[in-house]
Amino acid sequence: MLKKSSLVLWGAALFIAWNGLLLLFLWSRPPSSSSSSSSSSSAERSRLTEEVIRLAQDAETELERQKELLRQIHRYSGLWGRRRAPPKIPQTPSPPPVAPEGGDTTVLPVLVLACDRSTVRRCLDKLLRYRPSAQRFPVIVSQDCGHAETARVIASYGDAVAHIRHPELGDVPVPAEHRKFQGYYKIARHYRWALGQIFRTFRYRAAIVVEDDLEVAPDFFEYFQAAFPLLLADRSLWCVSAWNDNGKEQMVDAGQAELLYRTDFFPGLGWLLLAELWDELEPKWPRAFWDDWMRQPEQRRGRSCIRPEVSRTMTFGRKGVSHGQFFDQYLKFIKLNDRFVPFTRLDLSYLKKEEYERSFLPRVYAAPEVRVEELQGNQRRELGAVRVQYTGRDSFKAFAKALGLMDDLKSGVPRAGYRGIVSFVYRGR
């Protein structure tokens, strides 16, 4: 700050000194001797007039040059100060009160977990393009790995995003049989540190978590802003996710982009959590495989998440620690919502547990049951919505595989399932 002030003072002094010398030069010129002829006197006056005009023009030009010099000094001294200062993190020491309907006082930071993908630009470009307010949705990029090119990409956004860096870059001690899973240990360590920064250091009330290989939909922020009050009000919920695990284009109804579900499966891939949940999870945070750990009954404790019919995120990160597991078969086909749904104007109370079960479950079990073969053969279309009934883990996996659903279960819960029910579109029905 001192250096910046001294540079500005130096520029001002230079400007004053130059113009002072210019005035001194004009005042100290000796008067011209009188001429006997009126023509020579007139010529002399004309010459002096021209010289004064030229000097005035030179002075004006120099004045503009000095003003530009001062502007440059001010601009570059500001940049120097920013380079030397620690990264500025938008903080809310006393988080603002949240309006019951998720009004403008809601502050939901977006935490972007990054490592060594310079393609984080694709993620950040969309976040910043669709972000309705920098104050209500500050973007904080937490970088692990120390990858220089990725750091340069993040820095290129200037003050539009905050850039924090994980201080521990070394390997994590792992059991001998887990050496090939070192990457999963580092990810869990990074998540713990980054979420700690959000909730402990910056003291936010809630946060939206995304990773550097996600692209967001136009109504990404609208969706989370509208669902946030629901998360506060219904303690049977523990997250809001932007992701539908079975959200391939042919398996969703894009015409019902406003449709939301409850799910017992933790989807991740763009999700909102409260600070209270982090208070609960942080003391027992796992050393690896954090997302599957979240799906265990001990963590979930019977709670559900909200998820959309049409995903509000899509992943473009085939390369990663999972080596593209599921990417070629499922993830690259996920339909990203492409139209804006005004969620904050919609009544989402149907997603509260009591009301949801009062309407959703009877509707499911009122649907006529058909066999998988009938569904595959496109038979009995006159029935409208139908139900395929499975009897256990093996039959679920067989049916899911036959119909193109993700067939794995985590802690006995199918992806996108609620009470064992997985809703999807098959051949337009």
Angle (CA) 96-99-100 rounded to 5° is: 140
Residue located via tokens 């003003």: 67
pLDDT grade for 297, boundaries at 50, 70 and 90 = very high
Burial environment of residue 302 by CB neighbours within 10 A (0 to 12, 13 to 18, 19 or more): exposed
Asked whether residue 419 carries a pLDDT value surpassing 70, the answer given is yes
Asked whether residue 51 carries a pLDDT value surpassing 70, the answer given is no
Q: Distance between alpha carbon 258 and the CA centroid of its chain, in Å?
A: 21
Residue 414 corresponds to which tokens in the numbers above?
């199918």
pLDDT grade for 46, boundaries at 50, 70 and 90 = low
Tens-digit pLDDT profile for residues 366-387: 999 999 999 999 999 999 999 9
Q: What is the DSSP letter of 166?
A: -
Cα distances (angstroms) measured from residue 400 to each of 59, 172, 408: 82, 37, 9
**Cβ contact 321:255 at 8 Å:** no
Cα distances (angstroms) measured from residue 213 to each of 115, 186, 311: 10, 17, 15
Asked whether residue 423 carries a pLDDT value surpassing 90, the answer given is yes
Average pLDDT of 305-321? 87
Nearest to 361 by CA among 275, 425, 298, 420: 420
- Number of Cβ within a 10 Å radius of residue 139: 22
Which among 291, 338, 394, 408 is annotated as catalytic?
291
Q: Which of 25-29, 104-108, 415-419 has the lowest mean pLDDT?
A: 25-29
Superfamily name and number for 110-348: Spore Coat Polysaccharide Biosynthesis Protein SpsA; Chain A (3.90.550.10)
Whole-number pLDDT of residue 93: 35
* DSSP sequence for 303-366: -EEEEESSBSEEE---SSTTTTTTTTTTGGGBPBP-S---GGGS--GGGSHHHHHHHHHHHHHH
Whole-number pLDDT of residue 50: 63
Whether 328 is catalytic: no
pLDDT grade for 88, boundaries at 50, 70 and 90 = very low
Q: Where are the domains of the chain?
A: 2-84, 110-348
Asked whether residue 74 carries a pLDDT value surpassing 80, the answer given is no
Whole-number pLDDT of residue 378: 93
* Its pTM surpasses 0.95: no
**Cβ contact 404:251 at 8 Å:** yes
Average pLDDT score, the chain: 84
Asked whether residue 90 carries a pLDDT value surpassing 90, the answer given is no
Q: What percentage of the chain exceeds 90 in pLDDT? A: 69
Q: What is the DSSP letter of 75?
A: H
Extended strands (E) in 20-166:
110-114, 139-143, 162-165
pLDDT grade for 97, boundaries at 50, 70 and 90 = very low
Asked whether residue 208 carries a pLDDT value surpassing 90, the answer given is yes
Whole-number pLDDT of residue 61: 57
Asked whether residue 171 carries a pLDDT value surpassing 80, the answer given is yes
Whole-number pLDDT of residue 151: 98
Tens-digit pLDDT profile for residues 185-205: 999 999 999 999 999 999 999
Average pLDDT of 125-129? 98
